[in-house]
Amino acid sequence: MSKPCRIVAVLGTRPEAIKLALVINELRRRPSEFETAVVHTGQHRTMLDHALHYFKIKPDFDLDVMRPNQTLNSLTGRVLDTVENACHRFEPNMVLVQGDTTTAFASALAAYYCKIPVGHVEAGLRSHDIYNPFPEEANRRLVSVVTEIHFAPTANSRDALLAEGVPAEKIVVTGNTVVDALRGLSELPHSWENTPLAAIPMDDSRLVLVTSHRRESLGTDQQNMCLALKDLVAAHPDIRVIYPVHMNPNVRSTIHSLLGDTDRIHLTEPLDYITFVSLLRRCFLVLTDSGGIQEEAPSFRKPVLVLRRVTERPEASEFGLARIIGMSREAIVRETERLLTDKEAYLDMSAGENPYGDGRAAERILEAITRWHQGKMPLLEPEKEFKLPPRPPLRRRKSDAVEDASAARPEKVHA
Ligand code: UD1
Ligand code: UDP
């Protein structure tokens, strides 16, 4: 029997923990095939520890790089140094990184400098604008340059890599691992007792879930968004805004100073993953600039208004499930009001299957790594790759519409 493949999986922020969780758990379930070390750079402290706790992942290396209000350069330097050290100690066959954070970029570079092959989960997302999102668009392009196997979530991301000259045999279309993470959560009853949501009155209000944390939106854009949220609650007495505020101090100062103490706008601390997913399940619609939340919302058939000028995740908007609306006060108010008042528009955006994945991405990633380790090609048979589901039809029957729209009201029962 051949020796187990030694894998270092690196994570540092909340979305990396959520999106690598099932890959790590699957690697650890198969110890005769894989020896796995989880490296936690500590780029995020509290926000990521919530997710690790939920998925029962204990890091083997905790590098503790986070500093209050850290700069990108200093953070990158600390990750490069500490990940190199972890690589020397574990001597992996492959380093797995996820997405487009500083942890992903600097860890991929550290592995490359140590001549260790890199596997990139969520490869090939492109907005084609290096300042939107900043610095993520450049980070993920830089990771691609040093990557050995590109785990592209969809055919779109594969095509972007092919257009940049990446050889087809190094790309595997897997679906997004975030859909794997949601497996089992969609039916799970969950109580809001003892969570930051417990204080929110549970009446018939429609819940508008908001998150925003991107560096390119700090300042004026986020101020505009706050003013739009105030306009919306003033004009619609039947809505409540729930906004779990990111821990970046630059985000918190704006949001708390403009929205603190506003009637029916509820600012909370970041939610643990299961509480956040239960809120996603109960809300009426989502306004967000988050990558992961754009990908999760279609699993619960929740329309997403994307608070960005461009997205590298076009599948939901191509399927009519999301709209890229930018950050102007007028556009945010107009597009949200459309969904609050026009049932058919709402239903058109809350139909069909999730175009980002089918819950089997981790399985595909492990099969491809195994075949790579054994020197086999192709890394995954084309018929096993993730395929987009059918596009949902537009304008459903009126009778369905009324029924479904009332289902989108928050459930009152806390199980
Ligand atoms: C980072 C990623 C971004 C990702 C986001 C997910 C980079 C450059 N940015 O952005 O791509 O979308 O995470 O949330 O990699 N902080 C805490 N506790 C925490 C987390 C953050 O106090 O648990 C504070 C610290 O003061 C820290 C600051 O937030 O210095 C910024 O954190 P950082 O990881 O640099 O950037 P994010 O905006 O979180
Ligand atoms: N999330 C969470 N608690 C929150 C907000 C988000 O657990 O209060 C989860 C969410 O379900 C998604 C991920 O965090 O899986 C998204 O992280 P974030 O928006 O910070 O980063 P991005 O995806 O934009 O990189």
Cα torsion angle, 168, 144, 289, 358, sign: positive
Q: Which residue among 71, 79, 214, 247 is best mutated to probe the pocket of ligand 1, counting the most ligand atoms within 8 A of its Cβ?
A: 247
Cα 264 from Cα 253, distance rounded (Å): 19
Question: Best mutation site among 214, 248, 276 for ligand 2, i.e. most ligand atoms within 8 A of its Cβ?
Answer: 276
Q: Which two tokens stand for residue 64?
A: 């503790």
**What CA–CA distance (Å, rounded) separates 159 from 139?**
18
Query: What is the pLDDT at residue 214?
Result: 96
Task: Name the residue with the closest Cα to ligand 2, atom 2.
Answer: 273
Rg of the chain over Cα atoms, rounded to whole angstroms, equals: 21
The distance from CA 131 to its chain's CA centroid, rounded to whole angstroms, is: 19
If you take atom 17 of ligand 2, which residue's CA is the nearest one? 15
Q: Which atom of ligand 2 is nearest to the CA of 294?
A: 23
Which stretches of the chain score pLDDT less than 50? 397-415
Q: Which domains does the chain show, CATH number per domain?
A: 5-175+360-384 (3.40.50.2000), 206-354+392-407 (3.40.50.2000)
* Residue with CA at minimum distance from ligand 2 atom 10: 293
Return the best residue to mutate from 11, 14, 50 for the ligand 2 pocket (most ligand atoms within 8 A of CB): 14
Q: Which atom of ligand 1 is nearest to the CA of 215?
A: 38
- pLDDT in the model for residue 1: 63
**CA dist., res. 86 & res. 10, Å (int):** 10
- Token pair 């096993």 is found at 384
Q: Which atom of ligand 1 is found nearest the CA of 290?
A: 12
User: How do residues 161-195 score in pLDDT, each as one tens digit?
Assistant: 999 999 999 999 999 999 999 987 767 778 899 99
Segment holding 163, helix H or strand E: helix 155-163
Backbone angles phi, psi at 149, to 5 degrees: -120, 130
Q: What is the pLDDT of residue 189?
A: 75
Q: Which ligand is nearest to the CA of 49?
A: 1
Query: Taking the model in full, what pTM does it have?
Result: 0.95
Instruction: List pLDDT tens digits, range 223-265.
Output: 999 999 999 999 999 999 999 999 999 999 999 999 999 999 9
Residue 85 CB contacts under 8 Å (≥ 6 apart), including other chains: none
pLDDT of res. 263 = 97
pLDDT value of position 412: 34
Q: Hey, whose CA ends up nearest to atom 6 of ligand 2?
A: 276
pLDDT (0 to 100) of residue 186? 67
Cβ atoms within 10 Å, residue 212: 24
Residue 14 CA to ligand 2 centre (angstroms) = 6
CA of 213 to the centre of ligand 1 (A): 9
Interatomic CA distance for residues 376 and 380, integer angstroms: 9
User: What is the model's pLDDT at position 404?
Assistant: 39
